[in-house]
Amino acid sequence: MKTDSATDLVAARLAKAIRDYVPRHPTKFQKLMPMKGSIEELRSKGVSYAAIAGILRDINVPVASDTVFRFCHEVLREPKARHRRKRKPSTLRVRKQPDKPSPTPPVLSPGGSSQKPDRWTQVNGPRIADPNTI
Q: What's the pLDDT tens digit per position in 19-41?
A: 988 877 666 688 899 999 999 99
Does residue 62 form part of some domain?
yes
How many domains is the chain built from? Answer: 1
* Whole-structure pTM value: 0.45
Domain extent, residue 39, equals 25-80
SS3 123: strand
CB 45 within 8 A of CB 26: no
Alpha-carbon distance 58 to 95, whole Å?
A: 54
Instruction: Tell me whether residue 120 is in a domain.
Output: no
Residue 126 resides in a domain: no
CB 75 within 8 A of CB 29: yes
In a domain, 72, yes or no: yes
Do 94 and 105 touch, CB atoms closer than 8 A?
A: no
Q: pLDDT tens for residues 52-66? A: 999 999 999 989 999
- What's the mean per-residue pLDDT of the chain? 78
* 131 within some domain: no
